[in-house]
Structure 1
Amino acid sequence: MDGEDFEAWTICWRANLWFHQTISKPLRCVECDETFTYPQDSHHSRFWVRATRCSAGHRQATTAEAHGETDMGVCSTCDQSYVLEVVKGKKECRREGCRRVVSVNEAEIKRAIGSDDETLQSFLALLKKYKSYECEIHGDVVQYEGNPNQALKPPTAECDHDRKVCDDCLKPMFETAIRGGNLEALLCPDPECKKAVPAETIRANVSADVFKMYSRKLSQKSFGENTKFRWCSCGNGQKHSSGETNPEWICLSCKKRHCFICRDANCDHLREIDAQKERNRSVMKQAASQYFKQSKEEREKQKQLRDAEAADKREQARTSKKCPNATCKAPIQKDGGCAHMTCKKCRTDFCWCCKVIWRNNVPLHLSGCPVGTRRTISKANLDTSGYGPDWDNDEGYDASLDGRLWLVADHQ
């Protein structure tokens, strides 16, 4: 280690001390993957998880690791060089599928060591010195300022790595591909990535004239690939989603009619469409005429049938109650007599007046039941398990019909 590296290491060591915390569990090192058991209340740095992020914002410890049986961290041996290697951009994100470089979270650094101004300023100055990356096209180191998340942003949102090519190299690479009509070559230059570069990245890295050329060639390419696209003689075009199924389409610009199949404005396909429209209009006209020709007597007859059906339903509701059993709820009619009712469908015994189920054939009534006065219970205290919803509500029932009911003394 030369003098310059030793000075940088010393600054990193002082900054790292601010992130030391006690550990109470065995520690598995994220660098050497060894597990260590240290004396109780030993101190180890949490710099690796608190003060580092990749440009995608990934923390270096997963939720499962953070709550495991061992502490995740950096052992005493690996910790001697870990912070300096992060500062120099030599650590890759631990998340699966991410090839981004881990960088220092400056906001967390300021929160942790803000009270030690000398250490803070020295460490921030060191970070600024190493804010760089190597351009893989021209091979030189490129310095940058500001937030690494923006400075190291790759060409596409789908890239799993940091930027590896500078703007000065991206521009001629993109412009050469566009001028040559080779839009398929507009890919991320990383050999392991090769994701398609979006239009906003192209716009930011080429001249205005070249971007216009790109937009025009992209449109022509898209139109040529879309089998549902058609041009109009006015110079505009549009997509006709129905295709040959419904070949008629109208230009949104000049309103001219075309045939999708023949690409003409006067053909057998369009004439057949016009004839079918006329047939449809004739059928609809005949249907409307037949409807209005219905006699007044026929419509009145229909109304009478509907009224009679409604009256039958009202009468049934007036004279019947539903079984209170949740699994039955069958409609039951009763005309006077004993208030003890047994459902013919489910064989449930209950009081017809208050609807309380007689479990094990033991009579029971709600307080206020007109026929049951000896064994009563309030509705609030009644065990309604096995009762259907709204078991005691029979909408439309004529309660005066219950005035003719009676119960033997043992059932009261």
Structure 2
Amino acid sequence: MSSIGTKECTICCNDIPIADFTIFTTKCNHRICHACLLKHMNYLLNGKGKTNIECLTSDCHEIMEYEDIKRVADKDLFERYDHLCFRQAIRKMPDFRWCKNPTCGSGQEHFERDKAPIMICVACKEKTCYTHDVPWHEDRTCAQYDLEKVTTEGATKDTIDRETKPCPECQIRIFKDGGCSHMICTTSGCGYEFCWFCGADYKKILEDGNSHHEKTCELYNISAYRF
């Protein structure tokens, strides 16, 4: 039972002063307490690296827009949101490629494109093939690489190189089948947990926060949210 001047938050179920409630978006006007909203945003932005923040009200799927985030977030949280939005934007650039070193997580534009397909990472100096978007195929031209046979289970080698990464512990390549960046190697006897983007030990990330990601990783954050 809420007392006069307070209201029960539908998320934490606590009686909160009405003045401490905040609307999710200007589109839906659903309200939860400011603390719950900040915790929700912090978890998605710093914990999951996601920028699509949905209203928590049942059956409402309105997304917080730029101005909604700016209205609610503190300086550090808004800068995190801005950073993630920037990373998402550069992914859409046709000349942009991520470094394929599984422990790097950096990326850059490669203006030479297919004319000079070897892209050398400015962060770790590893080579990536711009044309195929895979680790550079040593001793083979792009044309020779194209002629390689289809490998096991009908997947081409470039698909395997592009969509799998070696487990940092056992080195067996594993597919990312959706979801977040938290990977768990299902190889028998392994079970190592790591970040898909940079290969960092995820147990340390869960214990101490996102400062354990590599500094070039898009999820790295020195003031990270702790789970």
TM-score by structure 2 length?
A: 0.37
Higher RCO (CA < 8 A, seq sep 6+) = 2
**Which of the pair has more CA radius of gyration?**
1
